[in-house]
Amino acid sequence: MCPPCCSSDGLSVTLFYSLVHDRLLSLISEPPSFIRELARADVVKGSTAMLECQVAGTGPFEITWHKDGKELKPSAKHAFSQLNDTVCLEVHKCDAVDIGEYQCTVANEVESCTCKTTLSLKEPPTFIKTIENTATVLGKMAEFQCIVKGSPITSVQWKKDENWILEDPKIQRTFESNVATLRIPACEAIHSGKYTCQVVNEAGQDKCFAALTVQGN
């Protein structure tokens, strides 16, 4: 009788040992899983985006990255790294071409797992509606209002002529739902002049201008 390795049914024996090998691997090795998945990245144009995730399981791992379904390779644009359980992709000098869906796949001898995120660019502020020239009479109200869009605004400031408007009980300023308003409930002659609204966020800034004329009764 032939030994198992020389059996006429050698294919079955090979398959048997292959199944045993796979079973032992599954018992000894832990499949990869994500402790922390990729977070959404919203970055300023020209900066570096870092996409990081944490992995558990039995190494070594094979790591692959994809953008919009296309595999990425290490380059001046894309840098890969792995330190302990942290896997990282750096996207350098982010531009419009880098916007999209990114996918990290981690595999070992047992299984693989995947997580995804999106990368977008922060928008600098721009005015949908700018402040407009206005005229009023002494003692009456005057108001400037503008509407801005872009990534979250971090600062809204107003100028009269060349001076920033600080806290003033005679001037009201609000910023709600991307609408910036400056209101003077009772105008005086000194309120005549050129007004500037400046809005700022992490990606940039924008300004608009208008004049207020306060006339005598």
Tokens of 103: 């996918």
Is the pLDDT assigned to residue 3 strictly greater than 50? no
Q: Which pLDDT value is given to residue 128?
A: 97
Q: Which pLDDT value is given to residue 1?
A: 41
Residue holding tokens 């002049």? Answer: 193
Q: Which pLDDT value is given to residue 15?
A: 61
| Per-residue pLDDT band at 29 (split at 50, 70, 90) | confident
At the second CATH level, the architecture of 126-215 is Sandwich (2.60)
Which are the contacts of 148, defined by CB distance < 8 A and separation ≥ 6? 125, 126, 127, 128, 178, 179, 180, 199, 206
Domain boundaries, the chain: 30-121, 126-215
Q: According to DSSP H, which parts of 59-156 are helical?
A: none
Of 101, 148, 153, residue with least CA distance to 122: 153
* pTM of the entire predicted model: 0.71
Of 197, 118, 202, 94, residue with least CA distance to 152: 202
Is the pLDDT assigned to residue 160 strictly greater than 90? yes
Q: Which pLDDT value is given to residue 216?
A: 84
Q: Which pLDDT value is given to residue 73?
A: 97
Is the pLDDT assigned to residue 164 strictly greater than 90? yes
Fold of 30-121: Immunoglobulin-like (2.60.40)
Residue holding tokens 């990282």? Answer: 88
Q: Which pLDDT value is given to residue 90?
A: 98
The model's pLDDT over 51-62, given as tens digits with 9 standing for 90+, comes to: 999 999 998 999
Is the pLDDT assigned to residue 4 strictly greater than 60? no
